[in-house]
Structure 1
C-alpha cells in the first residue's frame, strides 16, 4: 500500500510541474499587454512602461515563472492587477461559494444516481429500465445553462420560491446562503446524475454476470440482495472514477452556471480576470483548480485501493 501511495504522489508532483509550465506558457502567448489595457488607448509609452515595472512584467519569462511558482509554494499567489489586493484573498472569498456549490451538486447527483442506477440494473430489459435510460439520455442531452434558465423561470419568476440569482453571503446565515445555491446545484447535478446512473447500471450489469453472483443466487440470495451485498461493491471502481471527475468538473467548470445565477465563485473570477486582462488572477486560479483536480484524482486512486485489494498488493 505504501508503494502504491508513493507512486501516485510522484505522479501527482510531476503532473503539477507540467501543468504549471503549460498554464504559464499559454498565458504568456495570449496577445495584449495588461498595462496598456489598464491605462487605455491614450496612455503614453512612459506610463505603460512604468506600470509594467510596477506590475512585475518586465523580467524574463523564466524569471517570472520561477517567481510565480516560488510564490505558489509559499502560499503567495501574487497581487491582482485590477483589484490591487492579494489574489489569495480573492480566491478565499470566491472559494466559499464554489466549494459548497460543487459539494451540494455532487451530493444531489449521487443521491439521485445510485437508486436510479440500482433500479435500472435490477429491472434490466423491462419498461422501467427503458424509461430510466431514456430519461438519463435526455438529462445528458439538455444543456445545463438552458436547464438553469428554465429553473429560474419556473421556481424564481413564476413560483417565487427562490431568488433568480445573487448570493447573500454566509454572514447572512446558512439558510439563506444554501437556499441561493439550490437552483444552481440542481442545474449542475442533473447531467452529472444522468451520467453516473448510466455508468452504475452498466457496471452492475457486467458484475451480475460473474460466477460469484450466480453462486450467491444459488445459495438462496434474492437478486436484490445479491445486487446490494456483492455486485455493488465490485462495481464501484468505474463509479468512483466518474464521481472524482464530476467533483473536479463541478468545481472548475461551473463558470456558465455561476454567470447565469450571478454567483461570485471561482468560475466567475476567471471570467472577470480574462476580460480584464488580469493574468496573475487567471494563472493562479487555474493552477489552483488543476491542483484540486489532480488531488481528487489521487484520492480516487486511494479509494480504488481500498475497494479493490488487488491494487494494494500489486507490484
Structure 2
C-alpha cells in the first residue's frame, strides 16, 4: 500500500512540475513584449521598464522560471497590475465562492446520479430504465447555461424564492451564502449528474453479470443487498474516475455559470483578467487550477486502492 501511495504521489509531483513549465512557457511565447501587451501601445517607457522589473523580464529565462516556481511554493503568486493587489489574495477571495459552489454541485450530482444509475441498472430493458436513461440523455445534451436561465426564471423571477444572481458574501450569514449558490449549483449539477448516472449504470451492468453476483443471488441474498453491498462497490472505480474529473471541471470550468449568475468566483476572475490583459493573474490562477486538478486525480487514485484491494499490491 505504501509503495502504491508513493508511486501515485511521485507521478502527481512530476505532472505538476511539467504543468508549471507549460504554464510559464505560455507567457514566454506570447508574441511581442508581455509588458507592452499588458500596458497597451500608448504606455511610456518608464511604465514599461517598471513592469518589466516587476515581472522579472530583465532576467534570463531559467532564472525567471525558478523565481516564479519558488514564489508559488512560498505562496507568492505575484502582484496584479489591474487590481494592485497580491494575486494570492484575489485567489483566496474568489475561491471562497468557487470552492463551495463546486462542492455543493458535486454533492448534488452524486446524490442524484448514483441512485438513478442503480435504479436503471436494476431494471435493465424495462420502462424505468428507458425513462431514467432518456432523462440522462436529455441532461447530457442540454447546456448548463440553458438550465441556469430556466432556473432563474422559475425560482428567482416567478416564485421569488432565491436571488437571481450576485453573492452577498459569507459575512452576511451561512444561509444567505448557500442560498445565493443554490441555483448555480443545480445548474452545474444536473448535466454532471446525467453523465455520472450513465457511467454508473454501465459499470453496474458489467458487474451484475459476474459469477459472484449470481452466487449471492442463488444463496438468497436480498436484491437490495446485492446491489448496494456487492455490485456498487465493485463498480466504483469508473464512477470515482468521473467524480474526480467532474470536481476538477466544476472548480475550473464555471466561467459561463459564474457570469450568468454574476458570481465573483475564480472563473469570472480568469475571464476578467484575460479581458484586462492581466497576465500575472491569468498565470497564477491557471497554475492553481492545474494543481487542484492534479491533486484531485491523486486523491482519486488513492481511493481506487480503498475500493479495490488488488491495486494495493501494484
Where does residue 129 of structure 1 map in the other structure? Answer: 129
Unaligned runs of 5+ residues in structure 1 are none
Match of 1:193 in 2: 193
Q: Contact (CA 8 Å) 1:34, 1:278: kept in 2 or not?
A: no
When the two structures are superposed, what TM-score results if normalisation uses the length of structure 1? 0.96
Q: Does 1:114 align with 2:91?
A: no
The more displaced of 62-71 and 22-31 is 22-31
User: Does residue 294 of structure 2 align to residue 285 of structure 1?
Assistant: no
Partners of 1:32 and 1:213 in 2: CA distance: 63
**TM-score of the superposed pair, with normalisation by structure 2:** 0.96
2:223 corresponds in structure 1 to 223
Q: Deviation at 1:37?
A: 5.0
Q: Which moved more, 1:240-249 or 1:55-64?
A: 55-64
Once the two structures are superposed, what CA deviation does each residue of 1:242-292 show, in whole Å capped at 9, x if it has no partner?
Answer: 111111110011111111111111111111111111111111111111111
Q: Does 1:139 align with 2:139?
A: yes
State the alpha-carbon separation in 1 of the partners of residues 80 and 44 from structure 2: 22
Greater shift after overlay, 19-28 or 189-198? 19-28
- Which residue is equivalent to 1:254? 254
SS at match of 2:167: coil
1:115–1:52 Cα change, 3 Å: same
**Cα RMSD over matched residues?**
1.5
Instruction: Provide the C-alpha distance between the structure 1 equivalents of 2:38 and 2:24, rounded to a whole number of angstroms.
Output: 21
Residue of structure 1 equivalent to 2:236: 236
Q: SS of the residue aligned with 2:28? A: helix
Is the 2:27–2:34 contact (alpha carbons within 8 Å) kept by the matching residues of 1? no
* 1:78 positional shift: 1.1
Please give the alpha-carbon distance, in whole angstroms, between the structure 1 residues aligned to 2:308 and 2:54: 54
Unaligned runs of 5+ in 2: none
* Structure-2 residue corresponding to 1:150: 150
Deviation at 1:55, TM superposition (A): 4.2
1:2-33 Cα deviation digits (max 9, x unpaired): 10011111101110011011111123223465
> How far apart are the structure 2 equivalents of 1:54 and 1:25?
18
